[in-house]
Amino acid sequence: MDLGLDNVRFPLLDHGYVQLVESWGSDEQIIRSARMSTAKGFLGWGPKCRACGDAFDGPERDCPDHIVGRPYVDCGRGGHMFDAPGDEKLLKFLWDNQHSTPFEFAGMTIEVKAPIMVLREWMRHRTQSFSEMSARYTPLPNENYIPSIERLMVNSKTNKQAGTIKGAEELTEEWATRFRRILEDQYVNAEDLYQHALQGGVPKELARLIVPVGRYSVMRASTDLRNWCGFIKLRSAPNAQWEIRQYSNVVASLIKEAFPRTYEVAKSSLGLE
């Protein structure tokens, strides 16, 4: 499916991005898959004409018969166009009642550049297929994640997984600034050791032991719409780590673009606006 997003990279963090590689299927294909037993296929989105069944997406006008709350248009075939739902009603029914199989007939492949720590979290979603750049075959680029002062100062007291250790002092902006400098120095030292090991003949697959989890790597991730929605529900949640939330929110925006009707029926249960 051509979304006009080919080669568009959505920048994230300080060196990362998400890029759509391809999408397949559509909201319409989800409906077709759901109707395999009835062989009715996709009948169209509403509103639809009561008389001829044609779908209508033009401007609505007040009904001359003064039927309150039921806009219409003359369809030209002897009927009035009432605001009758089309297949969006079935789409909503499928989602609300967890008939999830039809949502497996659409999906996306994306490319992701993120710190290794983010990719390791991401790969816990074993319903996706992954292909990551391998430091066994090629040296990783010298790009490392340094969180901003604002990120370091985020209040994490409500997130036990992100909380500080017991007895830790309250983080100050001064100490956050100092931590950033220390982190940058450590990255420089790690890169120097990494390059020294490579030049000294250490195999790439072992020289990478020096590389920290803040180093950026690149992968492709692919799965169906059902499982992308499951990913978003967990990773866009307020208690997910801040970094992966930024990536998940971009994935959600890609779904909104590729599958707008599914996004509308799913967004509330996924915690999206």
> Could you say which DSSP state residue 128 is in?
S
Q: Which helix (H) or strand (E) holds 130?
A: strand 129-132
Q: Which two tokens stand for residue 56?
A: 């209508």
The amino acid at residue 88 is E
> Could you say which DSSP state residue 65 is in?
T
Asked if the peptide bond before residue 147 counts as cis, ω within 30 degrees of 0, the response is no
Q: Give ∠ CA 249-250-251 in degrees, rounded to 5.
A: 90
Q: Indicate which residue of 32, 208, 215, 235 is catalytic.
A: 235
**From start to end of 13-106, where are the E strands?**
16-24, 48-49, 81-84
Q: Is 136 a catalytic residue?
A: no
Distance CA 202, CA 155 (A): 42
- Report the DSSP beta bridge partners of residue 218: 113
Q: Which helix (H) or strand (E) holds 220?
A: strand 216-224
What does the radius of gyration of the chain's CA atoms come to, in whole angstroms?
25
- Report the DSSP beta bridge partners of residue 48: 55, 84
Q: Which two tokens stand for residue 187?
A: 């990255």
Distance CA 170, CA 155 (A): 10
Which residues belong to the active site? Answer: 235
